[in-house]
């Protein structure tokens, strides 16, 4: 089950955390994976680590907030794979802490540039060929913050709600083409970025305990758990799923 042998996959923001886990899991399932990352060092390291395990991976430097950069990414992937990309994962994203009163327009613009416009630009680059081939899976990384409001995360929540809406709209617009478009809405996931942010709190231990207690299950998720869901949405077994927002939040939203 969930065999991606022969498929070509592009994963943005794959230099660490959830993106890196998705790239690894896809490669283990047989896909040729393009590690699309703005940071040359981390992106190249993930691609090399995958190759060291005998799997197929290549690094592509891409700034998803730049439509021209997204277009260049698509052209490179298509040039090497006969104009084909089977799976696109829009994972690249940034965050911000603050309420509407403490968030500046610059803060909001920064998050929109990556989280929303970046997802749009990558879809605009890769979707036409998928439509032409009448196959493909696009997986957008939203958040539980795209389903329910998260305290003190005004800009982040705003952009993640936008991604859920974008996903549903694109899925509806292009369902007849057989291209499936879904999103994943994780709760808090213990990534290197989250760990680094926790370390910045005056009392990191207290902050960690508070963050894990948000989930009813009593812990944060792992990148591999989110990657497993992405694998399902990428595989042929999920052929009847489009326009869905898959919640993986340890029960955070169950009582909302």
Catalytic residues: 156
Closest by CA to 223, choosing from 17, 24, 47, 12, is 17
Other CB atoms within 10 A of residue 129 CB: 16
Helices (H) and strands (E) in the chain, counts: 9, 7
SS3 content of the chain, % helix, strand, coil (to 5): 50, 15, 35
Sign of CA dihedral 76, 78, 81, 82: negative
Q: In the β-sheet with 245-248, what is the strand arrangement from edge to edge?
A: 57-61, 32-37, 8-12, 87-90, 137-141, 180-186, 245-248
Closest by CA to 85, choosing from 43, 124, 39, 137, is 137
CA distance linking residue 230 with residue 15, whole number of Å: 16
CA distance linking residue 187 with residue 252, whole number of Å: 7
Q: Which residues pair with residue 89 across a beta bridge?
A: 11, 139
């Amino acid at each position: 089950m969930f065999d991606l042998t022969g498929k070509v996959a592009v994963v943005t923001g794959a230099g660490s955390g959830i993106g890196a886990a998705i790239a690894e899991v896809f490669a283990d399932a047989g896909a040729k994976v393009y590690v699309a990352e703005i940071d040359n060092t981390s992106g190249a390291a993930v691609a090399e680590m995958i190759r060291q395990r005998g799997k197929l991976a290549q690094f592509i430097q891409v700034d998803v907030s730049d439509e021209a950069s997204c277009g260049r990414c698509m052209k490179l992937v298509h040039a090497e794979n006969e104009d084909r990309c089977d799976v696109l994962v829009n994972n690249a994203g940034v965050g911000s802490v603050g309420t509407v009163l403490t968030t500046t327009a610059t803060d909001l613009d920064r998050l929109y540039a990556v989280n929303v416009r970046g997802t749009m630009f990558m879809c605009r680059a890769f979707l036409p060929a998928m439509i032409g081939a009448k196959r493909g899976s696009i997986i957008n990384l939203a958040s539980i913050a795209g389903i329910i409001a998260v305290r003190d995360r005004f800009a982040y929540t705003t952009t993640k709600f936008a991604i859920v809406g974008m996903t549903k709209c694109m899925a509806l617009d292009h369902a007849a083409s057989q291209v499936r478009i879904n999103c994943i809405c994780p709760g808090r996931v213990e990534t290197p970025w989250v760990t680094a942010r926790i370390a910045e709190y005056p009392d990191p231990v207290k902050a960690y305990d508070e963050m894990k207690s948000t989930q009813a299950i009593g812990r944060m998720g792992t990148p591999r758990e989110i990657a497993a869901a992405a694998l399902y949405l990428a595989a042929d077994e999920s052929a009847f799923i489009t326009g869905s927002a898959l919640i993986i939040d340890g029960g955070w939203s169950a009582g909302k």
